[in-house]
Amino acid sequence: MTLPIAFAVAYLLGAIPTSYIVVYLFTGRDIRSIGNGNPGTMNVWDNVGAVPAVVVGLGDVGKGMAAVSVAYWLGFGDVVAISCGLLAVVGHDYSIFLHFHGGNGTAAAVGALFALVPEATMPAAAIAVGITVVTRSKRAGGLVGLLLVPALAAWQDYPNILVVGVIALLTVVALKIIRFEGFTPARTRPPR
């Protein structure tokens, strides 16, 4: 009975519409009607501002961390923790609170990575921030940072299951981004 509860909690944590709540509190508007309509951190950053975006980002990272932490707190091992991280990303991407729409899940995945492989994620995040500051490209910094996590996790001798879990999380995020944006650099929602 505990496993279904862990999975349900992970999905529901991920499904909390952080950007919707934060943007509404800051502006009184629905993030889905702003910019590209994506209820994610980057749309908030690009069209509402840095402060609300940081709040959204921290909330979304927290959702992923909490989902993985719940699995460990309930006494489950790495496989269930990875599954809970994936469910948090799915919850973020397909939120029951937003009629099964959502963002790309990147921040929720980053939170799951922090909880699963913290010693690999922390330096990757620092490098991502450095690249973003130097190049002024959030995409370049984020991409390099995310790609570094599985390499650092393998180099630091994390268990193979965690390295595979990291790759699975990044694959789910990549597939959602490709579906949402295609291979173009412009952040535009494709017609429905």
The answer to whether residue 11 is domain-embedded is: yes
The answer to whether residue 50 is domain-embedded is: yes
Q: Which of 56, 51, 108, 115 is nearest to 80 (CA)?
A: 115
Q: Judge whether residue 55 has pLDDT over 90.
A: yes
Amino acid at 15: A
The answer to whether residue 22 is domain-embedded is: yes
Q: Which of 168, 106, 189, 191 is nearest to 141 (CA)?
A: 106
Q: Judge whether residue 46 has pLDDT over 70.
A: yes
What is the pLDDT, as a whole number, of residue 185? 52
Section 24-29 average pLDDT = 93
Q: What are phi and psi of 191, to 5 degrees?
A: -65, 145
Q: How far apart are the C-alpha atoms of 18 and 54, rounded to whole Å? A: 11
| Six token digits for residue 20 | 């919707």
The answer to whether residue 42 is domain-embedded is: yes
What is the pLDDT, as a whole number, of residue 63? 96
Counted domains in the chain: 1
pLDDT tens-digit series, residues 135-161: 887 777 777 888 889 999 999 999 999
The answer to whether residue 188 is domain-embedded is: no
Look up tokens 């994620």; give the residue: 121
Q: How far apart are the C-alpha atoms of 22 and 26, rounded to whole Å? A: 6
pTM of the shown model: 0.86
Domain containing 76 equals: 2-181
| Six token digits for residue 111 | 């939170």
